[in-house]
């Protein structure tokens, strides 16, 4: 204890030396504290040890929280509290800003640093304790002399809800990974400004890791913003009653431990059902029962394995029916049975949150208050196909029960047991700058999103909850109908276009949204997937081939053109090495017979069909490897898609340098599990491809093996390998037999 006090005193002296205003009293060390509550004028700050090596901070002005605020972190965390009890708002020390206090939790310290007369008040600073007893500053509340307070509140109107801006120190060389998904080509988010509002292809989520060795969760349901500056990181909440965040620490470069700590806070993914690890077939869209049954017959005739067949949107009579149109789907149970008998595949059906007044469910939903409203105006939240709609209020538990009961009656009990949660981004239908085609004259006019009113609050205060709650509605239904508990293996699965903090705890994939079918967009998805992984979302996928046509590219989505066929083959190769292998999108062709043209594996020309089928079969040959990496993700939060910094930052200096600058090596290459290095081809007319092979830190002379030739290579070099259209650049570590057998941990 004496050495520890000496170290604390020395650190306090360094702080005082760096600041011209001296501390009034010595630090008060509380090694076994359950937390402290600091009163500072009208403001209260509550700090608690939380999990392993972490702290939870809550702050509020004037009115204390009710204890019923929305939270996305577990209390207690899944790991780190020996008593296994929730700590709520416990604390054992209260003071009013007249002293400095220190709490240690594992290898992390929080310290209040206050100086008399400092207009910044008493700040919080977080340190990691090193093996030699020294301390390393991770971050502290950012408040240069005479600056705006790092905890800043303001009121935009009547009521107790406030807006908040919290600022933390950073350094120019610090790097940040995670933050959900954006179409930005960035793995390191330093310098980014990210709006905390969900829309199609944009799922910002304030969970990130720093290369300094800490993870951060901004545990807020409100809309706001993340700003990662050179000296200051700022997080804003548009409307809140309490500010809530958690910080956890590990040694620099130990990202697996950080992921374990973060997933203990926000949730561990269950293991997915076996069928979902195979090939998932979809297009916009299969129009009727006959088409789906014929499709299943084609898969059988072609001897192509398929795990799931997807029925996309507009398969209902009216928005909000949450059932297939009986005029087009007369016997759902018979269809489900036939598909299963022919292929062994499950069926997934799309649902939207929108309800029109023509829906069979509208009057009951309206009468019971199960539809979201708006703060003013007629209550409609969007429009679709010429009619105004309102969205079901999934923040209301009773509305979630109604939704699931309807889905169970119309789908689940008839054999369709998997659900596609589309358009559920919150507020409107998730198209940020369009009115959903209501008129060609007002598209892209930047109207504000509707100020939606939910049972849980407003769009400003709880808008980030909405997509999460919509996933929760399906999860609760799954768990009830299968008599299983959260975290247990999933029998069924959902697919969502949005999510938020801890979405990985659900039996739910997240995909990257309605992306364009061009080469540049293919490249963008790689960094997006790596950011999803760093956020904690291991269940991630894309629309192979892209979703929609780029009007500036004549061949985009046209399956009869050699240009698009090449793009599709390269894209399909890549999704073989994603957590879920899925194709989807609108397709055009020279002779169109249906709503959209074909998107099946045999639709891209005789010369390409064998290539496409070879990757589908390879996916099934990798089944043991997939089960192994999903199991590890479930147990520890260990990422499936692994940015290169995860495994090689400490063994290869180039990786750290290139990650900082978002070099193409670190935004376009990644590890898929612990053994496979993937470098997708993202340009046309490619016959060879340059790949950087990281230094692995082991003693092997040539640890890397090119999958297609079995040639071995040393790490720490860029190699150029043959990459005809048949081959995605793919390297492996260790024996191929171990990979195929799943013996990789």
Do 403 and 342 fall into the same domain? yes
Q: Does some domain include residue 733?
A: no
Helix (H) or strand (E) holding 369: none
Q: Does some domain include residue 555?
A: no
194/662 Cα distance (integer angstroms): 17
252: nearest Cα among 714, 744, 645, 708? 645
**Which of 478, 511, 544 is the last residue in one of the domains?**
511
Taking every pair of C-alpha atoms in the chain, what is the biggest distance, in angstroms? Answer: 83
Q: Which tokens belong to 283?
A: 């297009």
Give the pLDDT score at 110: 96
190/661 Cα distance (integer angstroms): 9
Do 85 and 168 fall into the same domain? yes
Do 64 and 86 fall into the same domain? yes
Q: Which tokens belong to 459?
A: 């769009």
Q: Does some domain include residue 610?
A: no
Q: What is the CATH number of the domain that holds 233?
A: 2.60.40.1760
435/438 Cα distance (integer angstroms): 6
pLDDT tens across 279-321, in order?
999 999 999 999 999 999 999 999 999 999 999 999 999 999 9
Confirm whether pTM is higher than 0.85: yes
Q: Does some domain include residue 248?
A: yes
| Distance (Å) of CA 67 to CA 54, 88, 95, 97 | 21, 8, 21, 24
The answer for residues whose C-beta is within 8 angstroms of residue 554's C-beta and 6 or more apart is none
SS3 track for 46-103: EEEECCCCEEEEEEEECCCCCCCCCCCCCCCCCCCCCCCCCCCCCCCEEECCCCCEEE
283/543 Cα distance (integer angstroms): 9
Q: Which domain holds residue 444?
A: 274-285+299-511
Q: Which tokens belong to 104?
A: 């240690």
307: nearest Cα among 277, 283, 332? 277
Do 256 and 371 fall into the same domain? no
336: nearest Cα among 282, 415, 411? 415
Do 70 and 96 fall into the same domain? yes
Q: Does some domain include residue 590?
A: no
What are the residue ranges of helices labelled H in 247-385? Answer: 255-266, 289-302, 332-343, 362-367
Give the pLDDT score at 22: 33
Query: Considering its fold, how many domains does the chain have in total?
Result: 2
Do 369 and 333 fall into the same domain? yes
Residue 228: how many CB atoms within 10 A of its CB?
Answer: 22
Do 142 and 110 fall into the same domain? yes
Q: What is the CATH number of the domain that holds 423?
A: 3.20.20.80
Q: Does some domain include residue 657?
A: no
Q: Does some domain include residue 95?
A: yes
pLDDT tens across 220-271, in order?
999 999 999 999 999 999 999 999 999 999 999 999 999 999 999 999 999 9
Integer Rg of the chain from CA: 26
Give the pLDDT score at 431: 82
Residue 622 C-alpha from the chain's centroid = 24
Q: Does some domain include residue 107?
A: yes
482/463 Cα distance (integer angstroms): 30
Do 170 and 311 fall into the same domain? no
Phi and psi for 459 in degrees, rounded to 5? -60, -40
Q: Please give the positions annotated as active site.
A: 422, 514
Give the pLDDT score at 26: 45
Do 325 and 466 fall into the same domain? yes
Do 237 and 381 fall into the same domain? no
Do 116 and 238 fall into the same domain? yes
Do 441 and 312 fall into the same domain? yes
- Beta strands at 279-281 and 308-311: parallel, antiparallel or unpaired: parallel
Q: Extract the residue ranges of the chain whose pLDDT is less than 70.
A: 1-28, 114-121, 432-447, 593-594
Give the pLDDT score at 398: 98
The answer for residues whose C-beta is within 8 angstroms of residue 314's C-beta and 6 or more apart is 285
DSSP code of 430? S
């Amino acid at each position: 204890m004496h050495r520890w006090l000496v170290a604390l005193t020395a650190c306090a002296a360094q702080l005082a030396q760096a600041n011209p205003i001296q501390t009034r009293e010595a630090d008060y060390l509380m090694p076994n504290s359950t937390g402290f509550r600091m009163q500072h004028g009208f403001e209260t700050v509550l700090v608690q040890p939380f999990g392993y090596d972490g702290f939870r901070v809550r702050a509020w002005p004037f009115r204390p929280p009710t204890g019923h605020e929305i939270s996305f972190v577990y209390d207690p965390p899944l790991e780190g509290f020996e008593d296994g009890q929730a700590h709520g708002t416990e604390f054992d020390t209260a003071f009013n800003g007249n002293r400095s206090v220190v709490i240690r939790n594992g290898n992390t310290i929080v310290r209040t640093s206050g100086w008399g007369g400092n207009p910044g008040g008493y700040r919080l600073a977080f340190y990691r304790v090193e093996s030699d007893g020294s301390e390393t500053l991770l971050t502290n509340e950012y408040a240069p002399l005479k600056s705006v307070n790092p905890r800043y509140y303001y009121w935009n109107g009547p009521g107790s809800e406030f807006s908040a801006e919290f600022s933390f120190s950073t350094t120019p060389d610090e790097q940040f990974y995670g933050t959900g998904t954006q179409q930005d080509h960035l793995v390191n988010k330093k310098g980014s400004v990210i709006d905390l509002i969900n829309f199609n292809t944009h799922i910002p989520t304030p969970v990130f890791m720093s290369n300094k060795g800490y993870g951060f969760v901004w545990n807020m349901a409100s809309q706001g913003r993340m700003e990662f500056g050179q000296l200051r990181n700022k997080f804003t909440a548009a409307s809140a009653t309490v500010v809530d965040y958690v910080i956890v620490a590990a040694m620099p470069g130990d990202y697996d431990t950080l992921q374990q700590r973060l997933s203990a806070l926000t949730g561990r993914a269950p293991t997915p059902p076996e069928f979902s690890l195979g090939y998932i077939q979809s297009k916009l869209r299969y129009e009727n029962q006959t088409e789906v049954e014929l499709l299943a017959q084609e898969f059988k005739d072609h001897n192509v394995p398929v795990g799931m067949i997807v029925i996309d949107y507009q398969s209902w009579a009216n928005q909000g029916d949450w059932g297939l149109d009986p005029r087009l789907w007369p016997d759902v149970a018979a269809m489900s049975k036939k598909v299963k008998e022919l292929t062994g595949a499950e069926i997934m059906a799309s649902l939207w949150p929108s309800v029109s007044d023509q829906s069979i469910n509208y009057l009951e939903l309206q009468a019971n208050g199960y539809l979201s409203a708006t703060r003013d105006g007629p209550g409609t939240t969007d429009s679709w196909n010429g009619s105004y709609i309102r969205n079901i209020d999934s923040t209301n538990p009773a509305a979630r029960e109604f939704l699931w009961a309807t889905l169970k009656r119309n789908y689940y009990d008839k054999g369709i047991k998997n659900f596609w949660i589309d358009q559920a981004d919150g507020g409107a239908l998730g198209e940020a700058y369009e009115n959903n085609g209501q008129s060609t004259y007002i598209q892209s006019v930047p109207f504000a999103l509707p100020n939606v009113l939910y049972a849980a609050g407003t769009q400003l205060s709880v808008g980030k909850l909405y997509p999460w709650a919509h996933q929760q509605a399906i999860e609760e239904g799954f768990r009830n109908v299968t008599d299983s508990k959260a975290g247990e293996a999933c029998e069924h699965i959902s697919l969502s276009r949005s999510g938020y903090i801890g979405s990985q705890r659900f039996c739910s994939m997240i995909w990257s949204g309605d992306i364009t079918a061009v080469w540049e967009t293919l490249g963008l998805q790689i960094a997006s997937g790596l950011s999803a992984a760093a956020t904690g979302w291991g269940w991630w996928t894309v629309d192979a081939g892209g979703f929609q046509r780029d009007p500036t590219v004549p061949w985009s989505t046209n399956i009869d053109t050699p240009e698009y066929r090449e793009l599709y083959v390269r894209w399909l190769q890549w999704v073989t090495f994603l957590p879920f292998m899925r194709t989807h999108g609108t397709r055009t062709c020279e002779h169109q017979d249906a709503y959209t043209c074909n998107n099946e594996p045999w639709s891209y020309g005789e010369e390409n069909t064998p290539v496409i089928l070879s990757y589908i079969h390879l996916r099934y040959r990798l089944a043991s490897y997939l089960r192994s990496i999903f199991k590890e993700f479930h147990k520890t939060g260990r990422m499936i898609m692994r940015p290169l910094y995860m495994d090689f930052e400490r063994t290869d200096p180039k990786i750290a340098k290139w990650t900082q600058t978002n070099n193409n090596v670190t935004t376009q290459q990644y590890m898929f599990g612990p053994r496979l290095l993937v470098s997708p081809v993202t340009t046309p007319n490619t016959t060879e491809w340059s790949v950087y092979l990281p230094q692995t830190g082991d003693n092997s002379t040539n640890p890397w093996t090119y999958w297609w030739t079995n040639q071995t290579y040393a790490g720490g070099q860029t190699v150029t390998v043959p990459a005809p259209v048949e081959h995605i650049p793919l390297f492996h570590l260790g024996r191929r037999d171990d990979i195929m057998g799943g013996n990789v941990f």
